[in-house]
Amino acid sequence: MAYEIYISREKRGLGHANAAACIKKAAAMALRAEGVDKALVSVMLTDDEGIRCVNREFRGVDSATDVLSFPLNELEPGRFDPQLCERDPETDAVLLGDMMISLPRCELQGEEFGHGFEREISYLTVHSILHLLGYDHVDEGAMKKQMRAREKEIMGDKD
């Protein structure tokens, strides 16, 4: 299984040198769990100001958030089909899309929830990978429950 996870930082001084390793590990865990063999994902690390601008531009929501996901394909949750995906012509990896994570918001939430930065960035990465694979939580119904259950399963959380 080959995963290409490209991580860049929008700004200097965001801290958390361990963020990239946590993201790569969590992304691989989620991709493996969903049956994805070869994939490419781009991740932009930013701050609240950076993610707020993108959130406003692409979603019309003028506020900061923890993570944004930009899927490249229209996929059905839990039924990954590489034939439905765009591919990198050089590596033949499935192009899943992009994600953006606010490191300060991630740190704050890790403190608020009492599980720390590494656990929070891992969770946000799994959450975003699932969005790239077609999962969503736009309503409080079955789709949200399906996504939350899958997140827990991948993260190894117990009820």
Tokens matching residue 56: 């406003």
Name the nearest CA neighbour of 80 among 96, 99, 98, 91. Answer: 96
Please say if the pLDDT value at position 142 is more than 70: yes
Domains and CATH numbers, the chain: 2-155 (3.40.390.30)
Instruction: Classify residue 124 by burial, with Cβ atoms within 10 Å: 0-12, 13-18, 19+.
Output: buried
Q: Do 45 and 101 form a contact (C-beta atoms < 8 A)?
A: yes
Residue-level pLDDT at 158: 65
Render pLDDT for 7-28 as a digit per residue (tens, 0 to 9): 999 999 999 999 999 999 999 9
Residue-level pLDDT at 157: 81
Q: Residue range 46-72: average pLDDT?
A: 97
Name the nearest CA neighbour of 134 among 143, 142, 125. Answer: 143
Per-residue DSSP letters for 38-93?
Answer: EEEEEEEEE-HHHHHHHHHHHHS--S--SEEEEESS---TT---GGGS-B-TTT--
pTM: 0.95
Q: What's the number of CA atoms in the CB half-sphere (13 Å) around residue 47?
A: 6
Going by pLDDT thresholds of 50, 70 and 90, the confidence category of residue 66 is very high
Please say if the pLDDT value at position 82 is more than 70: yes
| Rg of the chain taking only CA atoms, in angstroms | 15
